[in-house]
Amino acid sequence: MKKPYFSLDHLTVGYQGHAVVEDISIELAKGQILTLIGPNGAGKSTILKTIVGQLPVISGEIRIDQKNIADISRSELSRKMAVVLTEKIKTELMTCEEVVATGRFPYTGRFGRLSEDDYRVVEESMELVHVTQIRDKDFMRISDGQRQRVMLARAICQEPDIIILDEPTSFLDVKYKLEFLSVLQKLRSMKDLTVVMSIHELELAERVSDRILCVNGLKIDGYGSAEEIFRPGYITSLFGIHAGSFDESNTSMELKAPDRERQPDLFVLAGAGSARSVYGKLQRENTPFITGILYENDLDYPVASALAAQVISTPAFEPVSEDAMRQAQEAVNSCRKVICCRSEFGSLDTCSEQLLDYARSMNKEIDFLYADRYNGRK
């Protein structure tokens, strides 16, 4: 591994000498992205506040380029590290451009006058996050999302080697969330920028992070690469999820399954991702159901496992076993009604078709989701 650029060495953080999170040790190479995830109030912000010097270190060390941050002078540090906080700032008669330009502070002279070069950097930073159009608007009169981007431009303008972001995506809509993260990736590849940020969107954390630090209470709960952290069951336990479920392999979440106590009397004939909307509808109606026959790599499968009372599944790339078929027939038998979500069956997928025929022969009530498109025998 390259020499670490940013590291926390047995760092303990907290308020007024009381530890909130203890013994944090991480190492980041230049250009790596670290995200902090964890439940609300777990101490993510406390860690970030300590890194930026808003809170004093309780014990341990924060190092940049192998040097203890406490030994780096104010002015040197201000050229190395930039921050974007969640707290909204109030400005008076400041245009967005002026807010961005404050990032040049560490580079200007006694009275803070900007040179042509400084203005060029301001210009580039604004272009990078697409705020050039609103440069002359009052900072207090733009949307939260725009403000967030202006603050990012301000941080970029500081030309740091490392940037600390506290929940940078929270006010952004999906378009700007993606744009924001792609800007970070761009900066990383262009300028070898190291990023430390806390983030709430787990699906984004999983996609963008090189390292993930899981914060939950006094001890660090986990630290590693995205693959290591998003292993089955971990996120559910980290966040103590009760009212639903989280699927680590897809970083997708589902609400609580319909009442499993009640005997389901509905069979959903699913497959090829056709049944997800039906599952969702049944969840909203709190109607328990059985579903099948699903290959375990089917798009329907993770949703079905989260929501169905029973899933009749079969390993992928294998013929459907007789056992599974029998199970499915029994399930259909126990139900009053069948919802067929398929509009067609493939030539290698005869079992679903057989199951439909079986339901028909048992005189079950059958709803066709794609009645208009269904080209089979009704």
Partner 1 sequence: MNTHRKKRSRCIAMLILLAAAALVLLVLNVCIGSINISLAEVLQSISGNGTGTFTQILWSIRLPRALATLILGGALALAGYLLQTFFYNPIAGPFVLGISSGAKMVVAVVMVFLLGRSIRVSSAGMILAAFFGAMISMGCVLLISRKIKGMAMLVVAGVMIGYICSAITDIIVAFADDADIVNLHNWSKGSFSGITWDNILVMAVVVAAAFIVVFLMSKPLSAYRLGEVYAQNLGVNVKLLRIGLVLLSSFLSACVVAFAGPISFVGIATPHLVKKVLNTAEPIWMIPGCFLGGAVFCLFCDLLARTVMAPTELSISTVTAVFGAPVVIWVLISRKRGQA
Task: By CB under 8 A, name the binding residues for partner 1.
Answer: 52-54, 74-75, 77-79, 81-83, 85, 87, 89-94, 98-99, 102-103, 105-106, 108, 110-112, 114, 116, 119, 136, 140, 158
> CB of residue 92 vs partner 1: minimum separation in angstroms?
4
Hey, is 10 helix, strand or coil?
Answer: strand
Hey, is 215 helix, strand or coil?
Answer: strand
Name which of 154 and 211 has its Cβ closer to partner 1: 154
> CB of residue 27 vs partner 1: minimum separation in angstroms?
23
Cβ–Cβ under 8 Å, residues 33 and 198: no
Name which of 46 and 313 has its Cβ closer to partner 1: 46
Q: Cα–Cα distance between 319 and 339 in angstroms, integer? A: 23
Name which of 94 and 142 has its Cβ closer to partner 1: 94
> CB of residue 41 vs partner 1: minimum separation in angstroms?
20
> CB of residue 170 vs partner 1: minimum separation in angstroms?
17
Beta strands in 75-170 (DSSP E): 81-84, 162-166
- As a whole number of Å, the CA-based R_g of the chain is 27
Cβ–Cβ under 8 Å, residues 108 and 114: yes
Name which of 18 and 110 has its Cβ closer to partner 1: 110
Q: Cα–Cα distance between 62 and 71 in angstroms, integer? A: 10
Cβ–Cβ under 8 Å, residues 363 and 333: no
Name which of 155 and 307 has its Cβ closer to partner 1: 155
Cβ–Cβ under 8 Å, residues 27 and 7: yes
> CB of residue 296 vs partner 1: minimum separation in angstroms?
50
Name which of 54 and 350 has its Cβ closer to partner 1: 54
> CB of residue 254 vs partner 1: minimum separation in angstroms?
38
Q: Cα–Cα distance between 231 and 238 in angstroms, integer? A: 11
Q: What angle do CA 247, 45, 192 make, to 5 degrees?
A: 80
Name which of 98 and 210 has its Cβ closer to partner 1: 98
> CB of residue 372 vs partner 1: minimum separation in angstroms?
51
Beta strands in 138-193 (DSSP E): 162-166
Q: Which helix (H) or strand (E) covers residue 367, if one does?
A: strand 365-368
